[in-house]
A = this chain, B = another copy of it.
Amino acid sequence: MPIKQNIKVAVDAIVFGYAHDTLNVLLIKQKFGEMKNQWALVGGFVKDNETLLQAVNRELEEEAGLKVNYLEQLYTFGDELQRDPRFRVISVAYFALVNSQNLKPVADTDADEAKWFAINELPPLAFDHLAILQKAHQRLKAKLTYQPIGFDLLPDEFLFSELENLYCTILEKEIDRRNFHKKIDSFGIIEESEKPALKKVGRPAKFYRFNKQKYSQLYEEGFVFEIKFA
């Protein structure tokens, strides 16, 4: 019994980056199609012979020349029958983080422009991409508190104040510097870097590194990362 079905499968990626105390999202302006000149998430249709993961990575590469630090499936949007006016589409959305070191995308073949937008200065978006983005934003906030993904948004070597600021900014909360430091320290998953302190104004700050191996090891042993503040 052959199955008749005319639904197209797409993938979309919500890529977050963090720079200058601001959370940013990567958007592209489409060159072709119905939604020409509209800003949209990175994404496209899945090929018959590639996995969903391969599809997202390909789109990231093609549309923004980007390699991400963290990637996970977010949600599948398929309850809007008229999402794309051309035909029925369901979209598997992925959630991605890039290290602020590689936060300079270059527009590539498919898109004529790829650009970072501050999360609270978004342009109008194509399709239901705003809803997708909001869901991703929620997920980011939630995960930040129970998984060490903040490090995937920072350079390999970072200052404690940067980490702290990242948490404050994304969670929109005040955090006590001393308690935060104490807590993070107690996990034993970050270590001082030998990188010489930067000299600007005030007392120079030390650089730190996230010890991913150590974290994985602790994780296996049942350790639970958790940051919660009033």
- A residues neighboring B (CB under 8 Å): 1, 3, 5-9, 32-33, 45-49, 51-53, 73, 75-76, 78-81, 87-88, 90, 92
Contact = CB atoms under 8 A, between A and B. Distances in A.
Given A3-B8, A7-B9, A52-B79, 7 more contacts: A5-B47, A6-B48, A7-B46, A46-B78, A51-B80, A73-B76, A90-B92
B9 A9 contact: yes
Contacts of A6: 48
Nearest to A88: B48
Contact of A92 (B3, B46, B76, B80): B76
B78 A9 contact: yes
A51 B78 CA distance: 6
Count of identical protomers in the assembly? 2
A32 B3 CA distance: 13
Please provide the 8 A-B residue pairs with the shortest distance between their CB atoms, ordered closest to farther: A51-B79, A52-B78, A76-B76, A7-B9, A76-B92, A6-B48, A3-B45, A5-B8
A1 B32 contact: yes
7 contacts: A5-B47, A5-B48, A7-B46, A46-B78, A49-B81, A52-B79, A76-B76
A80 B49 CA distance: 10
Contacts of A8: 3, 5
A45 B2 CA distance: 11
A31 to B, nearest CB: 12
